[in-house]
Amino acid sequence: MIVIKRNGAEVNFDLAKIVAAITKANDSIGEGARMTPVQIGRIAESVALACEKLERAPSVEEIQDLVEYQIMAHGAFEVAKNYITYRYVRSLIRRSNTTDEKILSLIECCNEEAKQENSNKNPVVNSTQRDYMAGEVSRDISERLLLPADIVEAHKEGIIHFHDSDYFAQHMHNCDLVNLEDMLQNGTVITGTLIERPHSFSTACNIATQIIAQVASNQYGGQSISLAHLAPFVQVSREKIRRNVEGEMAFIKASPTEEEISELVERRLRDEVRRGVQTIQYQVLTLLTTNGQAPFVTVFMYLGEAKSEQERKDLALIIQETLEQRYEGVKNEDGVWITPAFPKLIYVLEEDNIREDAPYWYLTQLAAKCTAKRMVPDYISEKKMLELKVDKNGEGHCYTCMGCRSFLTPYVDPQTGKPKYYGRFNQGVVTLNLVDVALSSGGNQDRFWEIFDERLELCHRALMCRHERLKGTPSDVAPILWQYGACARLKKGETIDKLLYGGYSTISLGYAGLYECVKYMTGRSHTDPGATPFALHIMEHMNNACRRWKSQHNIDFSLYGTPLESTTYKFAKCLQRRFGIIEGVTDKGYITNSYHVHVTEEINAFDKLKFEAQFQHLSPGGAISYVEVPDMQNNLEAVLQVMKFIYDNIIYAELNTKSDYCQLCGWDGEIEIVEENGKLVWRCPKCGNTNQDKMNVARRTCGYIGTQFWNQGRTQEIRERVLHL
């Protein structure tokens, strides 16, 4: 059995160390109150058994918690007291050099928790290590100097999660919708170089990738761009190519017909579109930002954003090429086609593409084919967005999320009276652990709501810390964002303060573990009709809090269905430490993301989407639903039926399948998860390969695809997912 040390390194479980620790505490008290060696041995064996039942690698802290519990269960309270005192003293000593230990473990590549902290970061490479090292220093400064002690303590205890604290010391925001249209049409500046309006589609794509990389290096969250902002440059290239063709024909004294010239122009244009789209795909995958990973970017595909019929056709051409290239995949180092993590693709289901007789139905068929093989695109329903995302003028709007799921709220620019989405951003997130609220109440309803309000106020203060950290930020800290069009065109030296108020940007109250919260308080899943009203009441209560805070501060607080990645494991461990193992609530190495149906619950795809739609609507700051499906490449009709259901019933959803490859034997089926020596590992079912460096595994975990593997809690969650089709 593997044990995870405090610095993230992994070691083998050693029963003798437990015996030795208990013996030291035992020897420190009078003989009359001491336990016998047999009792000490039994305690150690009980701890070992409890660790095995976790079905994952336990941490040192978890083992020590179990030791305390077992000592007290044997009635040896004096021994337990001395053992707890010893732990406390050691924790004070460690606290003085924790940051140093973590940094050293990162450099030596022995920090397993860091390796699994982000499923799209490779912690071995120097650039990622530098980011992690800087992050540890930033986190240390934030905890010691910048954040209130009670917020830091609540974060450490898993009561709340203060997201991205490793970036908090800097004046950085979370995520945004890049105003690519403004930057391409009106020019921009990148590292002091003026970039004028491009004169071809391929050049526009190249500039777009440079913008993406620059934006990613100046924030810590995801970004989204729209292909509609590139579509006008197809016509620019068409006109340029036509001039070239006509010149060539005149040079060779040929007399082709107008139809022949047009056909030749369109052929060359298609080649340029192909090269431009390929530039975006390969640049995004190969660029490394200053945080040591490929830019976290989402590409939005919405025909409804086109401004003319010709532009719509050109946009359709770009969308088709994007889907075809993603379907093909990218080659790994062995030359095998695999599924890339980025860019994430979102395809809008709309009237012009949702039915067989629609003019762009062929794109929807291609999207279904791509999803079945590569897990993208994900789908947004224009119908539901227009119905539910309504601004103060009573108009509905369809737009993309920022990165994987964070949505802006409808906004009308007071200066123009027109809706605005591109150029807006999110200030940051603090997530409330709903499971901890429930367990802290002991199941008492009155106490539950009291604690709930106390925790909400804690989140409120934490969110205001995020806001105050951004307040006063000069535009000079990130010119690409604040001066040259990605988010705004402020003057040098001007602060970003006016962008923090009035709804221009959002700030997010996240939540996690709604299922477990309801399960503990009612004894039933939130899918049970008798428990669903309680779950919806919880959602409304959080939305009401956001509305109060918005009125109080003129800041757009918004409720957000948190995409827990590594934090799902952290929350689970904290709950087990604070409340023990409670069947159906804390007996996993993970808690459920946001409002989702529990991964082990049997439910069909259509019922799941229909049920979750009501909770997604109550998460205006962002949410996504998914259905887990088997290999659907030979059943595209079923994929299309799910897509049609999404269009009619839910704002934003995705289909999760598997896309794996074993580099040792060439297996291209599902890589399985098995338990080995007390740890969950990935294993090829054909050759038995367990070397993660010799396999390619792609799984969707939080609205986006991860390819660098996950911690033990998330791995357990992935293994336990049931199929919905």
- Render pLDDT for 30-52 as a digit per residue (tens, 0 to 9): 888 889 999 999 999 999 998 88
What tokens does 270 get?
Answer: 């298609």
Mean of the per-residue pLDDT values of the chain: 91
- Between CA 382 and CA 558 the distance in angstroms is 21
pLDDT at 566 over 60: yes
172, 216 Cβ separation under 8 angstroms:
no
Rounded mean pLDDT, 633-645: 97
Q: Under 8 Å CB-to-CB from 71, ≥6 apart: which residues?
A: 22, 25, 35, 43, 79, 80, 83
Peptide bond into 377 cis (omega under 30): yes
The rounded distance, in Å, linking the Cα atoms of 350 and 399 is 12
pLDDT in tens, 288-312: 665 666 788 999 999 999 999 999 9
Rounded to 10°, the helix 445-470/532-553 angle is 40
> According to the model, what pLDDT value does residue 673 have?
95
Say how far apart CA 243 and CA 251 lie, in whole Å.
12
Query: What pLDDT, on the 0 to 100 scale, is given for residue 229?
Result: 98
CA distances from 205 to 185, 191, 269, 278, 309 (A): 13, 18, 14, 9, 22
Between 390 and 711, whose confidence is greater? 390
In angstroms, how far is CA 461 from the centroid of its own chain? 24
Task: Name the residue with tokens 């794509």.
Answer: 205
Contact present, 719 and 701 (Cβ < 8 Å): no
Phi and psi at residue 700, to the nearest 5°:
-90, 130
Residue pointed to by tokens 């000079």:
476
Question: pLDDT value at position 134?
Answer: 73
What gap in Å lies between CA 480 and CA 474, rounded to an integer? 13
Q: Which residue has the tokens 């009078």?
A: 30
Q: Give the HSE-up count for residue 367: Cα atoms under 13 Å, Cβ half-sphere.
A: 29
φ, ψ of residue 430 to 5 degrees: the values are -130, 130
Select from 24, 56, 13, 28 the least CA-distant residue to 581. 56
pLDDT at 374: 94
Whether 174 contacts 216, CB under 8 Å: no
Dist. CA 113–CA 98, nearest whole Å: 14
Residue-level pLDDT at 407: 97
Q: If you average pLDDT over residues 522-530, what whole number do you get?
A: 98
Q: How far apart are CA 563 and CA 238, in angstroms?
A: 42
**Lowest-pLDDT range of 71-80, 107-116, 661-670:** 107-116
Give the whole-angstrom CA distance, residue 531 versus residue 516: 12
List of residues 6+ apart from 463 with CB closer than 8 A: 428, 430, 507, 508, 509, 549, 557
Q: Which active-site residues does the annotation give?
A: 174-175, 402, 404, 406, 426, 560, 565, 703
Alpha-helix residue ranges (DSSP H) falling in 6-162: 15-27, 37-53, 60-73, 77-95, 98-107, 112-115, 126-141, 149-156
Contact between 400 and 419 under an 8 Å Cβ cutoff? The reply is: no
Question: What pLDDT score does 97 carry?
Answer: 53
* Helices 126-141 & 98-107 angle (0-180, nearest 10): 170
Nearest to 332 by CA among 299, 292, 285, 364: 285
What angle is formed at CA 164 by the lines to CA 159 and CA 170, rounded to 5 degrees?
Answer: 130
